[in-house]
A and B are shown apart, each in its own frame.
Chain A
Amino acid sequence: MKPLDLTVLVHEGPQARAYLVGLRRQGLRPRRIVLLVRERHRGTGKVWARGWPQWLRRPLLERLQDSAENYWPRTFLRQHSSEVAQVCTALDPVVGRTREFVEEMYSGFRYRDYGASFERVICDGWRDERLHEVMRESGPVLFTGGGIVPREFLELPGVTVLHVHPGNLPHVRGADGLLWSTLVRGRPGFSCFRMEPGIDTGPILCAEDYPPLQIPIVASSDQSDRLYQLLFSFVDPLLRAHFFTTRIAPGGVGEEREAQLQSEDDGVTFHFLHPRLRNVALARIFTGADSEAETLPTAPVVAGSFERPVA
């Protein structure tokens, strides 16, 4: 395995697992994996097992967050395996051997098997000094979570945070990127950029449109919440991982890599979709009929040459 000068900051869930499986497939081994172990329940805001001894508390917290953050992928694999199979078949032209990819993410997966070093940090969010202490001078860091990361984390000394956004920047910024890309540009798009305090505004390493998604599952409106979860359990993580591990990681992720500055005036910042418009986007993806996906372009689009919308 070829070493990769990258710290993968793991926010437990399908996205982090997909990145690591994808890197292994490319024969790349990140220098370091840091697993965030959240001590506060995301739903209730309660701190778990406060005062418990560390040796007992850490595995408990890890188990709880694993159950919560991987609830939907595991539920689909257990109860709706035929739908997962259809998703895998649809992604095969892009990802390749997708079923094996998904199985690796959820059968006996261990973070320590994917990096040269592995550590865990119990913390209470991005502003926690315990996290800052572990992350200072880490060099390039791959962010695997979602939401807004505070400035104080992004400005830690010796740290450059990379993120893959599911939209072709600067055209599609903000939330629900995969669905907005489908609505606005007719296909998914992905961009890797160095994170800055603004929303999806940092310098772009690479941006690219992918072939339109066509998954042969019927998008009935009463199933839209479930299809939304299906999309974010497998489709979005696997495509982001494909983009990062084939377009970004092989060329290196350090400061020496050229990046294209963005102007905040370019593009549109989108917000979470209303359920009715979300249904329209889902119906474009879950087509309910067999269809052949386009093949991917073989050469990556370099920063600065990404496609502009038709004038």
Chain B
Amino acid sequence: MASLLEDLVARRPDPESHREVYEQLCRKLEVFGRIDREYTTSWRRRRSPEPLADQAWPLLVEALLLGAEKRDESNPGFRLKCLNAACKALDRVSTDALEAPARSALESRVNYLLDCEGP
């Protein structure tokens, strides 16, 4: 999982082309409240699942924000779904996993996207 997230963040592919990955990340996070270190190829849990390492959670937030920042008005639902999941993932990032300036940078991006959605 960590390598998948690193790849998403480094290569910044069009999130729409990785829709299935984003859908699964949102689902695992929002329905089950957890992300595992590894899944099977069909996104099922491994027999002895281990939670995603604390250090990988900022990458998850970053990846979800890439989905949230895509300005595609033909599918605002996907963008907002990613933003919702990013907010929830950011709540889970421990203070040990992310230094204050880096956390503040992620917070700023979330705030900016929320402001864009303002009434």
Which residues of A are interface residues toward B (Cβ below 8 A)?
Answer: 171-172, 180, 183-184, 267-274, 276-277, 280, 283-284, 287, 309-311
How would you classify the secondary structure of chain A's contact residues: helix, strand, loop or mixed?
Answer: mixed
- CB pair B26 A271 closer than 8 Å: yes
- CB pair B74 A271 closer than 8 Å: no
Q: Quick one: which of B71-93 are within 8 Å of A by CB?
A: 73-78, 80-81, 83-85, 87-88, 91
Contact residues in B for A272 (Cβ distance below 8 Å) = 30
- CB pair A310 B119 closer than 8 Å: no
- CB pair A280 B119 closer than 8 Å: yes
How would you classify the secondary structure of chain B's contact residues: helix, strand, loop or mixed?
Answer: helix
Give which listed residue, A172, A180, A276, contacts B114 with CB less than 8 A: A276
- CB pair B119 A184 closer than 8 Å: no
Q: Does B31 contact A (CB under 8 A)?
A: yes
In the complex the two chains form, what is the Cα distance from A175 to B23 in whole Å? 15
Give which listed residue, A180, A267, A309, contacts B74 with CB less than 8 A: A309
In the complex the two chains form, what is the Cα distance from A58 to B5 in whole Å? 54
Give which listed residue, A171, A184, A268, A277, contacts B87 with CB less than 8 A: A277
- CB pair A276 B77 closer than 8 Å: no
Chain B residue at minimum C-beta to C-beta distance from A183: B80
- CB pair B77 A184 closer than 8 Å: yes
List 12 contacting pairs A-B, 8 Å CB cutoff, sorted by A: A171-B77, A172-B77, A180-B80, A183-B76, A269-B27, A270-B77, A271-B27, A271-B81, A271-B85, A277-B80, A283-B119, A309-B74
Give which listed residue, B26, B27, B74, B119, contacts A287 with CB less than 8 A: B119
Smallest Cβ distance from B67 to chain A, in angstroms? Answer: 12
